[in-house]
Each structure stands twice: as structure tokens, then as C-alpha cells.
């Protein structure tokens, strides 16, 4: 049984990921900022919960440092939180407030959590980090099409962080794996009811990455995945 920390665990992709990991027999700790939904999710999964306000970076670091002290170093760190930018937020039309709101939650908090928790996982030479990115953050695909600028750029930053950290930690050779995923357009509060995929389908690749068999020095990591396949950055 592995210990998994799951952000965004109160709803949508985070909840479906946590649910699948719980059904697979793992211990799951849920992190989110929506108090009522997080309480309900914790009850449904019979999992402990931790409240975190990801727009407050100093507080976020403390919450996760305390969680490691409380539960131990996780085997799985699943970062499934995120916000969408204003749909009309183009690079030259957005403002500082909107830019900072999206970057703080989508990129800064990812760095802080990985820096705080992932460092301990790497020191222990165990564990895997999976970060929900987006196809809109791909430089080789739809990520360079313009529009939704803060969101696209925040996800491109996540992709760069994942690739860089994988290089720093030996691409799995030291027992530490990190990958990003594109969940595709899924039926969540962010994706809307008309999205073609269910949240469960959107979470499937993340769950696979969290539970696949790993062979140090052999298993591919430091990559962007979609439907269990590697896609170009």
C-alpha cells in the first residue's frame, strides 16, 4: 500500500484520481481549498483531508511540510489542482492581477509543493510525482495557438519544470520519477458539462502513471503523457 498526496482532491480530476487510487488499495490524503466539498470528498473516500489555500505560497509550503510530518513522505505526489484564465486573456490584453492569479496557482504552487515534498521523496530515493498539465501548454501543438495566455503559459512552465527536474534526478535512475499529463477536455467544473470525456476518463493516465511498474534506469519518465502514450512537449 502506497501513501498518496492528491491536490485538487475535492472534485473533478483530483477527486477521480484519488478515488481510483483508494480503490487500488492505497492510502490517500486529500488537499483542497473548498471546505465543504473537501469534507464531503473525505467522507466519501474515508480519507484524511488537509485544507490548503494555494494562492498563499508561504501557507502552502507550511501545509505540506506539516503533512509530511503528520503522514510521512508520500510514495505518490499527485498535483491535480489548477485554475483557468479568462478566455479573453491574450498576452497584450490581460492584466497583472489575472496573470499573477493564474501563475500563482498553476505554476508557483506546483514548484513550492514539489520543492517541499518532492525533495524528501528524492532524498528517500522513492516515489513518483505526477503533475496535471494541459495540451494547451505544448509548444509543439495547440499550446502555441494564442489566447488564454496566462493558462497556456503557466502549463508550459509546468512542462519545463517537470522536464528539468527529471534531468536533475537522473530520469528515474535514482528511484524518483516525475511526469506531466494532458487529461484532455473533461467534464469538470473547469471543463464544463459539454466536454467529451468524463472526469474518470480524464484521470485515467494519471492513475496509470501512479500505479505502473517502475524499473530504475529503464522506465520512461520526465515526459508528457496523453492516453498512456508519450506526446511531444
Domain count, the chain: 1
Please determine, for residue 138, whether its predicted confidence score (pLDDT) is greater than 90: no
**Mean pLDDT for all residues in the chain:** 91
Rounded percentage of the chain residues whose pLDDT exceeds 90: 75
pLDDT at residue 185 in the model: 60
The 3-class secondary structure across the chain, one letter per residue, is CCEEEEECCCCHHHHHHHHHHHHCCCEEEEEECCHHHHHHHHHHHCCCEEECCCCCHHHHHHHHHHHHHHHCCCCEEEECCCCCCCCCCCCCCCCHHHHHHHHHHHHHHHHHHHHHHHHHHHHCCCCEEEEECCHHHCCCCHHHCCCCHHHHHHHHHHHHHHHHHHHHCCCCCCCCEEEEECCCCECCCCCCCCCCECHHHHHHHHHHHHHCCCCCCCCCCCCEEECCEEECC
Q: Find where cell 496535471 sits.
A: 132
Rounded percentage of the chain residues whose pLDDT exceeds 70: 93
The total of other beta-carbon atoms located within 10 Å of residue 189's CB is: 12
Mean per-residue pLDDT, 93-119:
96
pLDDT per residue as tens digits for the range 59-77: 999 999 999 999 999 999 9
Mean per-residue pLDDT, 121-141:
89
Please determine, for residue 137, whether its predicted confidence score (pLDDT) is greater than 90: no
The mean-pLDDT minimum among 78-92, 111-125, 156-170 falls in 78-92
pLDDT band, very low/low/confident/very high, at 106 (cuts 50, 70, 90): very high
Nearby residues of 119 by Cβ (< 8 Å), 6 or more positions away: none
pLDDT at residue 184 in the model: 74
pLDDT per residue as tens digits for the range 145-197: 667 889 999 999 999 999 999 999 999 999 999 999 998 765 566 656 776 66
Residue numbers of the domain that contains 92: 3-231
pLDDT band, very low/low/confident/very high, at 143 (cuts 50, 70, 90): low
Mean per-residue pLDDT, 204-219:
92
For 185, phi and psi rounded to 5 degrees? -70, 110
pLDDT per residue as tens digits for the range 33-68: 988 999 999 999 999 999 999 999 999 999 999 999
Mean per-residue pLDDT, 216-233:
92
Query: Which CATH number do you get for residue 158?
Result: 3.40.50.720
Amino acid at each position: 500500500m502506497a501513501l498518496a498526496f492528491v491536490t485538487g482532491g475535492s472534485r473533478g480530476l483530483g477527486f477521480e484520481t484519488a478515488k481510483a487510487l483508494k480503490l487500488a488499495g492505497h492510502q490517500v490524503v486529500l488537499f483542497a481549498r473548498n471546505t465543504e466539498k473537501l469534507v464531503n470528498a473525505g467522507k466519501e473516500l474515508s480519507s484524511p483531508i488537509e485544507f490548503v489555500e494555494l494562492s498563499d505560497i508561504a501557507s502552502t509550503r507550511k501545509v505540506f511540510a506539516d503533512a509530511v510530518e503528520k503522514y510521512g513522505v508520500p510514495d505518490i505526489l499527485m498535483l491535480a489542482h489548477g485554475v483557468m484564465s479568462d478566455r479573453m486573456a491574450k498576452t497584450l490584453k490581460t492584466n497583472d492581477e489575472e496573470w499573477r492569479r493564474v501563475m500563482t496557482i498553476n505554476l508557483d504552487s506546483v514548484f513550492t509543493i514539489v520543492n517541499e515534498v518532492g525533495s524528501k521523496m528524492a532524498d528517500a530515493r522513492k516515489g513518483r510525482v505526477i503533475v496535471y498539465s494541459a495540451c494547451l501548454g505544448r509548444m509543439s501543438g495547440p499550446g502555441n495557438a494564442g489566447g488564454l495566455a496566462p493558462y497556456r503559459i503557466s502549463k508550459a512552465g509546468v512542462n519545463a519544470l517537470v522536464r528539468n527536474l527529471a534531468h536533475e534526478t537522473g530520469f528515474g535512475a535514482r528511484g524518483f520519477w516525475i511526469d506531466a499529463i494532458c487529461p484532455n477536455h473533461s467534464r469538470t467544473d473547469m471543463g464544463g458539462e459539454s466536454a467529451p470525456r468524463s472526469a474518470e476518463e480524464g484521470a485515467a493516465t494519471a492513475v496509470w502513471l501512479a500505479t505502473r511498474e517502475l524499473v530504475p534506469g529503464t522506465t520512461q519518465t520526465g515526459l508528457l503523457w496523453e492516453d498512456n502514450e508519450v506526446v511531444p512537449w
